[in-house]
Structure 1
Amino acid sequence: MKRAIGVLAVCLLVPLSLAQTKIGDCEVSGKKGEFPIKPVTPGVLTIQTNLPAPGWFNGDTPDTIKSGFEYCLAANVAYLAGLDKVKIVNVSFDALVAGQTKNYDLAFSQVTITDARKKVVDFSPPYFSSDQGLLVRTGTKVNASNIKSLKIGVQQGTTAVDFLKNVLKVPESNIRVFPDTPNLFTALQARQIDVAMLDTAIVLVQAKQSGGKLEVVGQYKTGEEYGAIYPKGSPNKAQFDKIFKTLAAEGVFKKLSATYLSKELGGDPTAVPYLKP
């Protein structure tokens, strides 16, 4: 999946004391420094993402973020890596998944693990599963018989682009590609498109925040999984992988989902009806 154009924006440094068990608004656990790494900046875990990402990074700019699923996941990674600061940098999603961003340790941006992306970046073990959801103006009818005749918007660089072209066989003339999610959702509300296709977990958040103007009417089963991105050939891959496996075994992913996503999503993603391609 996802997001915006403008590489490298503002950064956030969050100090971590040696005895601290809370970073921002996030609870952290485990043994600090159990899996030490060699970060790009000594004592700092540098994280890249693409904002905004409500529920995942709660805040529109790095200096306002203190919670969210991926923010708190990053905080737990930093803690287990024994680092004293977390630095968040806002980057272009398209550049991130193309392996074009530099000077970071890992990135969280609801990125689906794909073989094509593995050619230019490395991935962590998966930490979240998602399918492709259909966001529409409330009352719009979408079904298997009319989907190809509707104007569908997607975000540049996301897996939805390939799904529309190669699986649903939607005509190129009916596909609109937007540089980021704010432009995509604005186009939907302005009636420039009929449907916005993006990860179900992301469009559910947008529907909930729309005040009833938008709704998620269906989704397609794609079996996608999110992973953190490491720079290709990162010397820290083995240690990061150990951290992710440890967090999974301790139930941290499920806890973060229950804490930060359930409320933001406004419902269970699996309850959204599935359409057949």
Structure 2
Amino acid sequence: MRRLLVPLVPVAALALLATGCAPQDDDAAAPASSASASASGSATTARCSPDTMDTKTKGTLTVATDKPAYEPWFSGDDPSNGKGFESAVAFAVAKQLGFEQGSVKWVTAGFNQVISPAPKDFDVDVNQVSITDARKKNIDFSSGYYDVAQSVVTVKGSKAAGAKSIADLKGLKLGAQVGTTSYTVAKDTIAPSEQVAVFNTNDDAKAALQNGQVDALVVDLPTGLFLAAADLKNGQLVGQLPSSGTPEQFGMVLDKGSSLTACVSQAVDALRADGTLKQLEQQWLTSTAGAPELQ
């Protein structure tokens, strides 16, 4: 899956492009450990420097994303400003590899171009592209830089609107799409007293919420952000839920067999290990995007 694009600023033109839910591949999302190519052992610092990496332009890291670049992944439709979760992650990866901010060049690449086996005109793409085994047949992925969280979304004035914890949700009527991680999390993590309502599609679930048949929906966070900001009348994101099981992950995309994959994965792994990814997630998704963690 790829992402649901989420404009948090009312002025932005809104479009639901394939998300952490775009065209779904047949194979399940793969975790970071199976992303194509972390180096055996670790890539050395010397190998992973601007002088030694075989980038499209020597000494420059060319990073692609789609246009428009939506919030909260980017800010102001300007990936180069370092604001928004994915812009900040891209610059953090570049810095980890030794590239100064002025040595990062941004280009535009559409989703279909990114996941195709055709040669890329960029070094890496960052655009909410989920790691799946099907896609790895055509492209390389870095280690996962974002574990897709599950969230609870409702409408203002509902019984769920004032919920501040998982306990506050247990007595409510919840809904989720059949066969999804969201359904499993609703059933097992929230464990409501009433059976979770099951819907064939998120559109069916959304209609049920809007009509008052359920008090809230459990959906992945990118979808929840979109529904609350753009797709529901008086939509409200209640919050995100604790991780459960093997999460879907977003990874940076590279050419199949790219010599840069191991270095980029090493950089992502280092940012995960030192807490940078978590800090950026809290800054741009939890706080700025209004997605508090429900405990």
TM over 0.5: yes
Whether the aligned pair in 1 keeps the contact of 2:85 and 2:280 (CA below 8 Å) is: yes
1:91 aligns with 2:109: yes
1:57 aligns with 2:70: no
2:144 partner SS = coil
Whether the aligned pair in 2 keeps the contact of 1:208 and 1:265 (CA below 8 Å) is: no
For residues 152-208 of structure 1, give each alpha carbon's deviation from its aligned partner in whole angstroms, at most 9, with x where no partner exists. xxxxxxx99xxxxxxx9976xx788xxxxxxxxxxxxxx9xxx99974145326625
Query: Which residue in the other structure is 1:229 paired with?
Result: 253
1:40 aligns with 2:56: yes
Whether the aligned pair in 2 keeps the contact of 1:208 and 1:264 (CA below 8 Å) is: no
Q: How does 1:163-242 map to 2 (within 5 A)?
A: 199-201=220-222, 203-204=224-225, 207=228, 213-216=234-237, 223-242=247-266
Whether the aligned pair in 2 keeps the contact of 1:62 and 1:89 (CA below 8 Å) is: no
Identical columns (%):
29
1:241 partner SS = helix
- Cα separation, 2, equivalents of 1:129 and 1:139: 30
- Cα separation, 2, equivalents of 1:42 and 1:105: 11
Query: Which residue in the other structure is 1:76 paired with?
Result: 92
Return closer, same or farther for 1:264/1:201 CA change in 2, 3 Å cut-off. Answer: farther
Q: How does 1:20-35 map to 2 (within 5 A)?
A: 35=48
> What code does the residue aligned with 2:113 have?
A
> What code does the residue aligned with 1:213 have?
N
Question: How many Å apart are 1:143 and its aligned residue?
Answer: 4.6
- Cα separation, 2, equivalents of 1:147 and 1:249: 33
Query: Which residue in the other structure is 2:281 paired with?
Result: 257
- Cα separation, 1, equivalents of 2:152 and 2:113: 25
RMSD: 4.3
4+ aligned runs moved over 4 Å, structure 1: 131-144, 168-171, 195-198, 208-212, 216-222
> What code does the residue aligned with 1:35 have?
C
Question: How many Å apart are 1:118 and its aligned residue?
Answer: 0.9
> What code does the residue aligned with 1:233 have?
G
- Structure 2 alignment gaps of length 5 or more: 6-16, 19-44, 160-172, 183-196, 204-210
Q: How many residues align?
A: 211
Whether the aligned pair in 2 keeps the contact of 1:35 and 1:243 (CA below 8 Å) is: no
- Structure 1 alignment gaps of length 5 or more: 6-31, 149-158, 161-167, 177-190, 273-277
Return closer, same or farther for 1:229/1:258 CA change in 2, 3 Å cut-off. Answer: same
Query: Which residue in the other structure is 1:245 paired with?
Result: 269
Question: How many Å apart are 1:61 and its aligned residue?
Answer: 3.7
